[in-house]
Amino acid sequence: MQNPFNVTKAAHFTDKEVLEYWIDIPGGGVESLKPTGRMPMFILGGKGSGKTHLMRYFSYPLQKLRAGDPLSPGKLADDGFLGVYLRLEGLNAHRFQGKQQTEEKWETVFAYYMDIWLAQRFMVVAKDLLTMDSELARNEREICAELNGLFDEPLGAGDTFDLYTDKLKELQKELDIQINNCALTGTLDVRIEATSGRLIFDLPNAVIRRSAPLRDLLVVYLLDELEWLTETQQRYVNTLLRERRDPCSIKIGARLYGLKTHETMSAGETNREGAEFECLRLDHRMREDRQKKFKGFSQDMCSRRLAEVGFVGASGGRGQKQHLAKLFGGGKHSDFYVEETRFVHDKYRPDERSSIARLIKQLNALVERQSSNKLVREKDIPAIISAISTVEYPLLEKLNIFMLYQDWQKKRNLLESAMEIQNSYEEFVKQRPKAGRYARCYGHFAADMYAQLLRETDQKQRYLGLDRFVEMSAGLPRNLLIILKCVWQWAAFYGEEPLRNGTVSERAQISGVREASEWFYKDSQAHGPNAERARQGVDRLAEIFREIYFSDKPTECSLCAFSANLTAVQPIVRESIETACAWSSLIEIDSGQRDRNSSRVDRKFQLNPLLAPRWDLPTARRGVIPLKPEEVEALFGDVEKEKYKAVFRPRLARYEAPFFGSGRDNEKANVPDESTQCELF
């Protein structure tokens, strides 16, 4: 069975595929990248955010494809720009360091090499322009004379674009021999024959100003994968950015961790956002309106792939959403989760339900150890169990128990509480009021109670439907494609035929999501000095989330985020968190979180939702827990495992019956009032 989601990297696309699979990003590609804007730009995003696809879409080969055959100077003039795309990985930048040479020498050689390399890339485009523009062809000899003069000594490369390009290749080859053999010879005997930046900016000017249709074009260097360059090498790129001149501009693509410096080689000057450059943060752009724009973008992307393999109804239009909903299911749950929890009736007798058995055990433990101020008498336990039990609705029974735990923690009489919960339950089932404690609890915690039911009954967590997959991708298109790729592979493994039957089974989706989550966990592992602390911190954070999420009395619904005052922690801890964000294991929420006891706005972070299945956590961003500085340091600092556990032991004890921390370490300043409160953001 052909997998329409098999190719997930735009770097692996042909030019034709870049065009065929193009879906305009939320906010518009032209408005976002601004190809006719002279202000240089950094295009930043996590792995798979769509940087390469976006940049290639505005490159010259794609301009030709969009225009049709042939591309005329007039059509190119209508675009207003000419895109020269290249991947900086192709420089093999690791060659330009060490080998018994000084950093200053390598800096000079790298700048010269990069100028020649970029000049060749432009000349490839220029030779193609020559075939379509008769005015340019008539001026070829004159242009070449000027191009030869761009070197400090006349190059003597001939009077055609072909000969000039060949000479540039020859110069690069000579440099390659010197650089590649430097470690063996111990020498780097390079003659610099052109002033830095002159080939990059003056060469395009010499060409396009001699053509009336082209002379107003902006030549845009689209430099992708900046992360492959060292900090020293990036200083030269920043220098080009700072000293750019017409008719050229520069757009630079980099991963979140890839931009190492804004320093330049220009007398110690540092580039500033808004002055020397602007930024397009693709992750943020994709997540700005995740409920509408990114969801629509994702549906279009999915449909485009499915249409390529002949899936009926997947080519857009009014029925697109319905076709995708049928294919992957998901959507709204049944009333009171009756259908989703039917397995409880099939697997357990009424007296075998694990949550009821656990509650009885906890009540008996309370009777044995409670003081004279009793919350429950032994003889009242059967009445309590009878009041909160509801065999017909397993999820509502879990909710009843959860509400009893809330009252238990407040030290209310449990028999009275159980009777109140029973009355509220009966009213809710019959009348479905939108207000009141029971309705609020159901609205906030129903999904969490369903997750707990699945866990208690040894069922796998359900991550189902395209909407859920979009939510898990967190604004990174490649993550969505990886999920769909894995789901499709598992459907094939199970012998399913989605293209024929129009559906993908739940088990294929569950298996595919878990595989995608494991892939992302490995792929998002950071590198560098803070990498191990960042990885360990994310692991520990997820473990704490899981402990709270599946506890007797979680105080936050759909817990997958935390807030903290990072000014109060050690610098190394902040750096570890920043590293986790740069590699997309954590996602920072720009709005932050206001501290309950002050006007301070703390920073707020969400565990990447694609990691959620690894720990059976929720993917929706709703609940948030405020962490104290010592807790943050126990997660992301150099803290041994036993000490980390000791730091969180008091907090975790507050969520578990029968004693809910026994009044120790109540931390009222950091814990919300129980009842039905779920802090949303």
Whether 137 and 272 share a structural domain: yes
Structural domain containing residue 63:
38-287
Question: Residue 317 — very low, low, confident or very high, per pLDDT cuts 50/70/90?
Answer: low
Alpha carbons 277 and 250: distance in angstroms, whole number: 9
Q: What is the largest CA-CA distance in the chain?
A: 105
Whether 662 and 529 share a structural domain: yes
Statement: residue 590 has pLDDT above 90: no
Whether 383 and 254 share a structural domain: no
Q: For the residues of 161-185, what is the DSSP string, one character each? A: HHHHHHHHHHHHHHHHHHHHTHHHH
Specify whether the CB–CB gap between 422 and 534 falls below 8 A.
Answer: no
Whether 273 and 377 share a structural domain: no
Answer whether residue 484 is part of any domain. no
Statement: residue 322 has pLDDT above 90: no
Whether 257 and 351 share a structural domain: no
Looking at 433, 456, 479, which one is the last position of a domain? 456
pLDDT at 24: 87
Quick one: average pLDDT of 118-126?
96
pLDDT at 671: 40
Statement: residue 667 has pLDDT above 80: no
pLDDT digits 0-9 by tens, 413-465: 999 999 999 999 999 999 999 999 999 999 999 999 999 999 999 999 999 99
Average pLDDT, the chain: 91
Answer whether residue 410 is part of any domain. yes
Q: 564: part of which helix (H) or strand (E)?
A: strand 559-564
pLDDT digits 0-9 by tens, 385-404: 999 999 999 999 999 999 99
In a 3-state reduction of DSSP, which class is residue 563? strand
Answer whether residue 103 is part of any domain. yes
Alpha carbons 403 and 459: distance in angstroms, whole number: 23
Whether 84 and 221 share a structural domain: yes
Specify whether the CB–CB gap between 444 and 557 falls below 8 A.
Answer: yes
pLDDT at 674: 44
pLDDT digits 0-9 by tens, 335-382: 999 999 999 988 888 878 899 999 999 999 999 887 756 899 999 999
Looking at 456, 471, 491, which one is the last position of a domain? 456
Statement: residue 669 has pLDDT above 60: no
Half-sphere exposure of 370 toward its Cβ, with a 13 Å CA cutoff?
20
Whether 344 and 283 share a structural domain: no
pLDDT at 292: 74
Q: How far apart are the first and last CA of the chain?
A: 42
Statement: residue 666 has pLDDT above 80: no
Quick one: average pLDDT of 598-607?
91
Specify whether the CB–CB gap between 470 and 518 falls below 8 A.
Answer: no
Closest CA to 625 of 551, 531, 572: 551
Looking at 287, 306, 327, which one is the last position of a domain? 287
pLDDT at 662: 66
pLDDT at 279: 95
pLDDT digits 0-9 by tens, 130-183: 999 999 999 999 999 999 999 998 888 888 999 999 999 999 999 999 999 998
Q: Which residue is associated with the tokens 């190809």?
A: 35
- Number of separate domains in the chain: 3
Instruction: Tell me which DSSP letter residue 673 carries.
Output: -
Quick one: average pLDDT of 525-553?
94
Closest CA to 543 of 612, 628, 473, 642: 612
Whether 226 and 154 share a structural domain: yes
Whether 121 and 259 share a structural domain: yes
Whether 211 and 145 share a structural domain: yes
pLDDT at 326: 87
Instruction: Tell me which DSSP letter residue 600 carries.
Output: -
pLDDT at 676: 41
Answer whether residue 536 is part of any domain. yes
Alpha carbons 571 and 566: distance in angstroms, whole number: 9
- What are the two backbone dihedrals, phi and then psi, of residue 83, each rounded to the nearest 5 degrees? -95, 120
Specify whether the CB–CB gap between 258 and 247 falls below 8 A.
Answer: no
pLDDT at 673: 43
Statement: residue 665 has pLDDT above 50: no
The alpha-carbon radius of gyration of the chain (Å, integer) is 31
pLDDT digits 0-9 by tens, 645-655: 999 999 999 99
Alpha carbons 171 and 193: distance in angstroms, whole number: 10
CA distances from 653 to 367, 607, 649 (A): 19, 23, 6
Q: For the residues of 230-291, what is the DSSP string, one character each? A: -HHHHHHHHHHHHT--TTEEEEEEEETTT----B-SSTT-B--BTTTBEEEEHHHHHHTTTT
Answer whether residue 370 is part of any domain. yes
pLDDT digits 0-9 by tens, 194-220: 999 999 999 999 999 999 999 999 999
Alpha carbons 60 and 65: distance in angstroms, whole number: 9
Whether 277 and 156 share a structural domain: yes
Question: Residue 319 — very low, low, confident or very high, per pLDDT cuts 50/70/90?
Answer: low
Statement: residue 314 has pLDDT above 60: no
Looking at the DSSP bridge assignments, the partners of residue 604 are: 563, 589
Answer whether residue 472 is part of any domain. no
> Beta strand 559-564 with 601-607: parallel, antiparallel or unpaired?
antiparallel
Answer whether residue 238 is part of any domain. yes
Specify whether the CB–CB gap between 617 and 549 falls below 8 A.
Answer: yes
Alpha carbons 548 and 559: distance in angstroms, whole number: 8
Q: For the residues of 302-319, what is the DSSP string, one character each? A: HHHHHHHTT-TT-S-STT
Answer whether residue 133 is part of any domain. yes
Whether 89 and 151 share a structural domain: yes
Which bin fits 474, alpha (ψ -120 to 50), beta or left (φ > 0)? left
pLDDT at 291: 61
Statement: residue 300 has pLDDT above 70: yes
pLDDT digits 0-9 by tens, 124-143: 999 999 999 999 999 999 99
Quick one: average pLDDT of 111-117?
96
Least confident of 450-464, 490-504, 650-664: 650-664
Closest CA to 46 of 478, 472, 471: 478
Q: 379: part of which helix (H) or strand (E)?
A: none
Question: Residue 316 — very low, low, confident or very high, per pLDDT cuts 50/70/90?
Answer: low
- What are the two backbone dihedrals, phi and then psi, of residue 587, each rounded to the nearest 5 degrees? -120, 120
Statement: residue 680 has pLDDT above 50: no
Closest CA to 623 of 679, 675, 670, 545: 679
